[in-house]
Amino acid sequence: KQEVTQIPAALSVPEGENLVLNCSFTDSAIYNLQWFRQDPGKGLTSLLLIQSSQREQTSGRLNASLDKSSGRSTLYIAASQPGDSATYLCATLAWDAGNMLTFGGGTRLMVKP
Partner 1 sequence: DVKVTQSSRYLVKRTGEKVFLECVQDMDHENMFWYRQDPGLGLRLIYFSYDVKMKEKGDIPEGYSVSREKKERFSLILESASTNQTSMYLCASSSGQDFTDTQYFGPGTRLTVL
- Footprint of partner 1 on this chain (CB under 8 A)? 31-32, 34, 36, 41-46, 49, 89, 91, 93, 98-101, 103-106
Residue 66 CB, nearest approach to partner 1 (Å) = 15
CA distance 38 to 46: 9
Q: Which amino acid is at 14?
A: P
CA distance 86 to 37: 7
Q: Among 51, 56, 41, 55, which Cα is nearest to 86's?
A: 41
CA distance 91 to 112: 27
Nearer to partner 1, 64 or 91 (CB): 91
Residue 75 CB, nearest approach to partner 1 (Å) = 16
Residue 17 CB, nearest approach to partner 1 (Å) = 26
Nearer to partner 1, 76 or 103 (CB): 103
Nearer to partner 1, 31 or 55 (CB): 31
Residue 79 CB, nearest approach to partner 1 (Å) = 26
Instruction: Tell me the CA distances in angstroms from 49 to 16, 31, 40, 66, one per residue in order.
Output: 25, 11, 22, 10
